[in-house]
Amino acid sequence: MNPIQVGLLGIGTVGGGTYKVLTRNQAEIRRRAGRGIEITMVADLDTARARALVGDQVEVVADARAVIANPAIDIVVELIGGYGIAKALVMEAIAAGKHVVTANKALLAVHGTEIFAAARAKGVMVAFEAAVAGGIPIIKALREGLTANRIEWIAGIINGTTNFILSEMRDKGLDFGVVLKEAQRLGYAEADPTFDIEGVDAAHKATIMSAIAFGIPVQFDKAHVEGITKLQAADIRYAEQLGYRIKLLGITRRQPTGIELRVHPTLVPAKRLIANVEGAMNAVVVHGDAVGTTLYYGKGAGAEPTASAVVADLVDITRLHTADPDHRVPHLAFQPDELADTPILPIDQVVTSFYLRLQVADQTGVLARITTILAEHDISIDAVLQRESAEGEKQTDLIILTHDTVEGRMRQALALMQALPTVLAPIVNIRKEELN
């Protein structure tokens, strides 16, 4: 049987890794897929660099549309990224009857519903294992391995840049800005790290996992997104003293009234496995009713880890290339006409517990007034820690852990506490998840 022919759009870090892995493991892959898989055409604006990577046996062009127009190409791999030209090329590839493999989480989180509908209408597949958590096969686990389960919640460290920064802040006691510069110097953070440090990248990935877990359309615009730019070394230190570590988590959870979809810094008990994921590594915890809690850990980025996922998608498509489209695994795990319209809950309706740090005047009655405000909003206290403030002798840091409460109620209480003359700085509030 003739090999499946693949056209690669973009041969940067991941594209180069994909070509290398596919070439190196060609014999093993053929044994698994039932036929060969060959990259026969590459499109990249830097044609000289592309030719240096793939040699003379692969056709190299500057125009991506030439790949899509080639009738011999069976699968188009989109590794350009972003929302703009990448979307146009993916839609054109689908219209031309090509299967698509993409690592583009931003594109799928924002336009996935439209892309999957177009692919279904054309009878082609869109595979995207590499879009979430790099080399960790979390999409396949959610879509196939856990298909017997009613999934209750997912919590993931799904951005290596922010996890590296938080690990360094904890290990070295440094503030965010200092560690960010070091992360950029070492290549863990981009020159413009906004998507990473503001939580947008993690929110793209959480949106995709949420859709697969709960059978809902992708709805990135409804996700609550916070980054790590405001975190201070003091809070990481205090969290550690209380038995917690701070991680940027993507969380999605089923509730009776809707689905939670949120990304933000989170206190996690230090005894949890996910709390001990350090450096640029990723980890995703999934809780299903039948299987209980499962953990998926590994490299979330990099040339060959991400290429591992891209090539796995190529093998899946090769195996199902001639299958009846109705008998393939649905893009979002659930049959397209069975997707639910369950709402994404506004953050004010989310129930969680909190870490609060108040810089207060060292006076009698301050704690009593603060605890009264919390009690008036039905917010119960789990623990209180008082430490001398670095700002001076007449000030103190008051750290409070609360039990679960509705976020909207906490915001009302925070506004009243902030207005107290004895509260001397903006109150730090970080959500806390036990992940039982």
Q: Which residues pair with 405 in a beta bridge?
A: 352
Catalytic residue among 98, 105, 205, 247: 205
Q: What are phi and psi of 281, to 5 degrees?
A: -75, 155
Q: How far is CA 436 from the centre of its chain?
A: 21
Nearest to 9 by CA among 55, 43, 32: 43
Is 205 a catalytic site residue?
yes
The pair of structure tokens assigned to 346 is: 């506004």
Q: Specify the pairing of strand 4-9 against strand 75-78.
A: parallel
Q: Which structure tokens are listed for 204?
A: 């793209």
Q: Which residues of 269-306 are buried (b: 16+ CB within 10 A; e: fewer)?
A: beebebbebeebbbbbbbbbeeeeeeebbbbbbbbbbb
- Which residue numbers are catalytic? 205
